[in-house]
Amino acid sequence: MNESIDSVILAQLREIVALWPAHETILPKQMHDLVAKDFELVDLTNRVSAVVAPSRIESIGELASVEFRDADGTLQRAVFRQSTEDGKWRMRSLKFQCPVCFGTGSNDGDICIGCDGSGWGAA
């Protein structure tokens, strides 16, 4: 990924996290243009208060992911999709690293039951 895209996505991530609801699971109006149409609303139950330490930004085509530590030290991953309509990057999901498999998707050689094999969030 190039540096300018990295900075755009990090700025967008910080803006979204600043607007993240503390208790509600309803998408705030201010976030509507910042998230993708297929944003996973269940992710609003994930309590994220700050982007403290971004550790990795990767992109594959129209998708980009950012791994970062939040204020509690939890590893989080935000996935963004670039719009084909206006070129803007919008968040598709924000999930915490699975505490069972630690992001691997497997546990004792089987698909992790904590995250259903994704390594992120909870099943």
Q: What is the mean pLDDT of each run of 10 residues along the chain (123 residues)?
A: 79 95 88 94 91 91 93 94 93 95 93 93 77
Parent domain of 18: 3-98
| Domain membership flag for residue 11 | yes
Give the C-alpha separation, 94 to 42, whole Å. 9
| Domain membership flag for residue 119 | no
| Domain membership flag for residue 115 | no
| Domain membership flag for residue 110 | no
Q: What CATH number does the domain containing 48 carry?
A: 3.10.450.50
| Domain membership flag for residue 112 | no
**Residue 37, exposed/middle/buried by CB under 10 A (0-12, 13-18, 19+)?**
exposed
| Domain membership flag for residue 103 | no
| Domain membership flag for residue 32 | yes
What is the pLDDT at residue 86? 93
Task: Please tell me the total count of domains within the chain.
Answer: 1
Whose CA is closest to 55, among 19, 117, 13?
Answer: 13
